[in-house]
Structure 1
Amino acid sequence: MAASGEHITALVNSHASGDDASFYSIALQISAQEARKGHHLVANDIKQAVDASREQRRTFDNVISLPNNFGEISELAEVTFPEVHLNQLVASPEIKDQLRQVMAEQRQRSRLLEFGFTPAHRLLLEGPPGTGKTMTASVLATELSLPMFTIRLDSLLSKYMGETAGKLRIIFEAIAQYRGVFLFDEFDALGGDRSGNDVGEARRILNSFLVFLESSSPNSIVIAATNHRPLLDKALFRRFDAILTYQLPNAAQAENVIKARLGSLINKGQLSGLSQLTKGLSHAELVKAAEQAAKSAIMRGEVQVSRKGLEIALMSRRKGSIGLTKP
């Protein structure tokens, strides 16, 4: 095989920087180059090696990222291995650019730390329910080949405030020990503004969280997601490396959400002109409407979702979600 000098240099650089995505991409470019030359056996060998390496690396990362014995952390977090890629997330270009930056910094975190810079690893996601905040955590876990730890707030929050602070310490010790994506969903339950409350343990819990967050390991990503930004304590905002604001999808994004969920079950032409029905619905609500239309079509023995069926599902979702009556 005669890979170009540029390809070899790029391979070495991407390997040295720990950028697995670039390394595999360049290897596949070499494979394609060999295929064009008629060297199909060599091209296939390279592709198979890339596929095997990706699978082995993912398995290896997942194994070493998890504790041998969860112990106390197992009662405070649900551990999953998402399979959701960035191209599946329907979000604004600004949010996707921010996520790419976070992933790039995490992939080259060793190099950044060597020069005295800390990679972005503390994110606050805020916006209406169902707009992709939890999915974003899954995307980061998938793209970085990391396990995702979803913190169980019902287990974390205790009527005995001292216990809650102790549980927070357990979580942040796990963040330092096990590389992963740690999601605090419905974060306002923990990080709400305490200024109007009586002085006491509630304030001390928030202060403990702030201290833990500020000193959290850059090898893991800590994500706080909230539907109610105004409820959060003002002291929180400066502790995060980035704040991502999510909005309800516009007409084009709504179309992409439905198309992504239905795939070949919908004719692309059936999706135009639905803006009045999709307006005000979240990503999650659009997915549910698409699924409702698909199940109805399948049970009727149809091979595709009709325009009428999709309209009915969207109107039903609007009535249930935003209180509109059927026209």
Structure 2
Amino acid sequence: MATADQIKSLIKSHYSEDKERFPTIALQLAASEARKGHSSLAHEIKTLIEKGRKSSSHLKVIPHNPDLSGLVQPFEADKKLVQLIASPELKQRIDRIIREYLQRGKLSKFGFSHRRKILLTGPPGTGKTMTASILSKELKIPFYVILVDKIVTKYMGETSAKLRLIFDFISKNTGVYLFDEFDAIGAERTRDNEVGEMRRVLNAFLQFLEQDQSNSFIISATNNIELLDQALFRRFDDVLFYQLPGKDEVINLVKNKLANFKTGFDISSLPFDKFNGLSHAEISQACDDAIKETILNDKTKVTKALLLEMISNRKGVYFSDRS
């Protein structure tokens, strides 16, 4: 039967609404039962998990508008602020955005509005998209991603027309809207390689952004803040800067990822230089790789050597791509 630690972990993951950790622990429990010869019970657990995943995988339905097809994509928000590994200052600023929305009535009595037009900037994999998901989850409003690559076209006027449709949708349907890879439309208007059409697109975006009076959150994310037009910054209520994880963040991230799996080493003793240059997402993926390798080899503990091997593999993949 399940161990006391497994039962406690299941209960904790349920009440923290961690939709990733709960099935992971349950599958570990199934594997443990299978090793004990309880194959029927293991199969039942796996079947229940699969059924649960299918029933909860449905996305919020966008009100029918054929013109928005392929432009606005709904996503299920499954992250909470406590799950974000970031500097205390960054988490405080995200918490302030949440508090202002929850108490927007109090602010409006004094003539203020809550901050909701936010620019997120920093290296890939450092938590920008996760932040948009967190806002949706914490505030219990839908989460949509605007597919910027589908907006920009070569036909004069078509991109601005698509932007108008999107902002009209934003004004009528309260939610968190993420414009990812925003520099595709927010590039500086004076750049030599920018054509007149793109300058018109940026001007249209600035106009729509300034005119928007909805309760929706308009989140723009970029990996290249230096490309953005300076006129953008005064249109946003806040600018959040994301960085690669420092030593303490690396330790907390690894601890969180391996929390439900036994380790044969002290996580705080990991050599930080081995993680240097990797993003939160890359480190998380390396931890997942180590867990999966441990499971496939019928081992009970993630070893220090295995984790560092997976970190090295990730560095090899990502840094070769970046060179």
TM-score range, shorter chain: 0.7 to 0.9
Task: Give the equivalent residue in structure 2 for 1:204.
Answer: 200
Give the residue type in structure 2 aligned to 1:153: V
Residue-by-residue CA offset, 1:279-321 (whole Å, 9 max, x unaligned)? 1110011011111111111111012211111011111112222
| Stretches (4+) displaced over 4 A | none
Structure 1 SS opposite 2:231: helix
1:237 alignment counterpart: 233
| Percent identity between the two aligned chains | 42
SS in 1 for 2:239: strand
| Cα distance change of structure 1 residues 162 and 266 upon mapping to structure 2, 3 Å threshold | farther
Letter in 2 for 1:237: F
- Equivalent pair of 1:122/1:221 in contact (CA under 8 Å): yes
Confirm or deny that 1:263 pairs with 2:243. no
Q: CA deviation at 1:217?
A: 2.9
1:45-67 alpha-carbon deviations (Å, 9 max, x no partner): xxxxxxxxxxxxxxxxx97xx65
Aligned to 1:305: 302
Aligned to 1:314: 311
Q: What is the alpha-carbon distance in structure 2 between the residues aligned to residue 270 and residue 123 of structure 1?
A: 35
Q: CA RMSD in A?
A: 2.0
Q: Deviations over 1:77-108 (max 9, x none)?
A: 11012110000011111111111111111112
Relative to structure 2, which stretch is displaced further, 212-221 or 228-237? 212-221
Whether 1:96 aligns to 2:102 is no
Classify 1:266/1:185 alpha carbon distance in 2 versus 1 (closer, same or farther; 3 Å).
Answer: farther
Q: More displaced, 153-162 or 86-95? A: 153-162
The structure with the largest helix share of the pair is 1
The one of 167, 170, 188 equivalent to 1:193 is: 188
Change (3 A) 1:102 1:143: same
How far did residue 188 of structure 1 move? 0.6
Whole-angstrom distance in 2 between the partners of 1:271 and 1:174: 48
Q: Give the aligned partner of residue 43 of structure 2.
A: none
> Is 1:119 equivalent to 2:114 in the alignment?
yes
Instruction: Extract unaligned runs of 5+ from structure 1.
Output: 1-61
Q: Which residue of 1 aligns with 2:274?
A: 277
Matches of 1:95 and 1:183, distance apart in 2: 18
> Which of 159, 178, 181 is equivalent to 1:183?
178
* Aligned match of 1:250: 246
Relative to the length of structure 2, the TM-score reads: 0.77
How far the C-alpha of 1:110 sits from its partner, in A, is: 2.9
The count of corresponding residues between Structure 1 and Structure 2 is 262
Cα deviations by residue, 1:250-297 (Å, 9 ceiling, x for unpaired): 011012222222222143724423201111110011011111111111
Provide the TM-score with structure 1 as the length reference: 0.76
Q: How many Å separate the matches in 2 of 1:212 and 1:92?
A: 32
